[in-house]
Amino acid sequence: MADEEQMAVFVLALIGAAWGFLVGRWWALIAALPVALWIMQVSEVDEVPPWFLGLGYGVVSVLGIAAGVTTRRSRAH
């Protein structure tokens, strides 16, 4: 189970970084909100509340997007 969770976090951060790099604007961070809400809706984990899981994956998305935007902006200068 831990490998699946780590893979999900890695993939979510990678997709977020790609999105941030492609868009290149800070408003792209808004894209993390639907991801967090979707995770909250489909979560079947009993160990933590759905809002906590959504928040965690939302933060991972925001960090990935921010990394992508930062990378694009640093390459542009």
DSSP string, 39-76: HHHH---SSS-HHHHHHHHHHHHHHHHHHHHHHHHHHH
Closest CA to 33 of 6, 5, 59: 59
Task: Specify the pTM.
Answer: 0.88
Which bin fits 8, alpha (ψ -120 to 50), beta or left (φ > 0)?
alpha
pLDDT of 1 over the 80 cut: no
pLDDT of 2 over the 90 cut: no
Take residue 53 and report the two structure tokens written for it. 């899981």
pLDDT digits (tens, 9 = 90+) for 8-30: 899 999 999 999 999 989 999 99
Domain boundaries, the chain: 2-76
Take residue 33 and report the two structure tokens written for it. 């909100």
pLDDT of residue 77: 72
